[in-house]
Amino acid sequence: MRRRPLGNTGLLVTELALGTWGLSGDAYGPVSVEEQQRVLERALALGISVFETADIYGDGAMERLLGRVTTGQQALVVTKLGTDLGAQPPRKRFDVPYLSGALERSRARLGRAELDVVLLHNPSRVALERGEATAWLAARQAAGEVKAWGVSVGDPETARAALAAGAQVLELAHNALHRSDLNQLRAELGAVGVLARSVLAHGLLTGHWAPGKEFPEGDHRAERWTSDELRRRLRQLDALRPAVGGQVLSLRAAALRFALEDAAISSVVLGPRSCLQLDQLVREAGRQPPYLEPTVLTALQARLQEVGVEP
């Protein structure tokens, strides 16, 4: 498993990371604890050493499981803080008293005195500009409680506020149909490490969905797209199909390799819910650059723009 520097943090990360939102059962429906553990152990066996999670996944259960499975392993855990599930209704909180308690709970669940990477979990731009949460995280790093810190963001404006506050790591959505956020930020990233999430657009880029696809209760995708938008996005998949061929075995592989080919990205976050899915993703990702041949990538970029995907 190839490694890349995580910006200027001094940390090396595997190009593939294991994200645990779907695995926790929160995003797409239940996953047994036994299968969760098998997937984490299989990831380690395949050479993946980066695990992305949050303190709220499984209401803390995913951090506890990661703490058990990664003990004694060369594993780097990225966790996110800032969602208060105890509030009614749950809400975002980035005040220091709340974050301090959340950090201590994460340290206890993960069984680590010093956490590898801590991210603020989708704060607003205003929350970042206030400066309280970012200054607190920088102080925790100086105190030896956190090796590196950053922000998980949902738009370029929030990302810019994170960069202005000194974030060392950004996590953002990036895939073949959602590439504009990263492209807008490229000139401003400097030596910041980038974690790319949603690289398969929550399964859309596998190419397995019919236009009338419906999602079961408990699946976040049921409210993510209108039926018209989903049909439009499925039509846009035609732009990826010519990239399939040779070592690129499927649409899923083309989408994954599209993200891996980007030198601005430190690690691509995968979201398998089974060992079978994990094995497929690792096999189809390829072992080394070029993940997509330059001519294939250039043609793909042009086709994406032709079907209305923002550059």
For the segment 187-200, what is each residue's pLDDT rounded down to a tens digit? Answer: 999 999 999 999 99
List domains and CATH numbers for the chain.
Answer: 3-207+263-288 (3.20.20.100)
pLDDT of 12: 98
Q: Kindly report, residue by residue over 263-293, the tens digit of the pLDDT.
A: 999 999 999 999 999 999 999 999 999 999 9
Q: Kindly report, residue by residue over 198-255, the tens digit of the pLDDT.
A: 999 999 999 999 988 999 988 999 999 999 999 999 999 999 999 999 999 999 999 9
Q: Kindly report, residue by residue over 99-144, the tens digit of the pLDDT.
A: 999 999 999 999 999 999 999 999 999 999 999 999 999 999 999 9
260 has a pLDDT exceeding 90: yes
pLDDT of 200: 98
pLDDT of 218: 84
6 pLDDT tier (thresholds 50, 70, 90): very high
Mean pLDDT across the chain, nearest whole number? 97
Burial 284-294 (b: 16+ CB within 10 A, else e): bbbeeeebbee
Cβ atoms of 66 and 303 within 8 Å: the answer is no
> Using H for helix, E for strand and C for coil, what is the string for the chain?
CCEEECCCCCCEEECEEEECHHHHCCCCCCCCHHHHHHHHHHHHHCCCCEEECCCCHHHHHHHHHHHHHHCCCCCEEEEEECEECCCCCCEECCCHHHHHHHHHHHHHHHCCCCEEEEEEECCCHHHHHHCHHHHHHHHHHHCCCEEEEEEECCCHHHHHHHHHCCCCEEEEECECCECHHHHHHHHHCCCCEEEEECCCHHHHHHCCCCCCCCCCCCCHHHHCCCHHHHHHHHHHHHHCHHHCECCECCHHHHHHHHHHCCCCCCEEEECCCCHHHHHHHHHHHCCCCCCCCHHHHHHHHHHHHHCCCCC
Using a pLDDT cut of 70, give the percent of the chain over it.
100
pLDDT of 217: 85
pLDDT of 189: 97
82 pLDDT tier (thresholds 50, 70, 90): very high
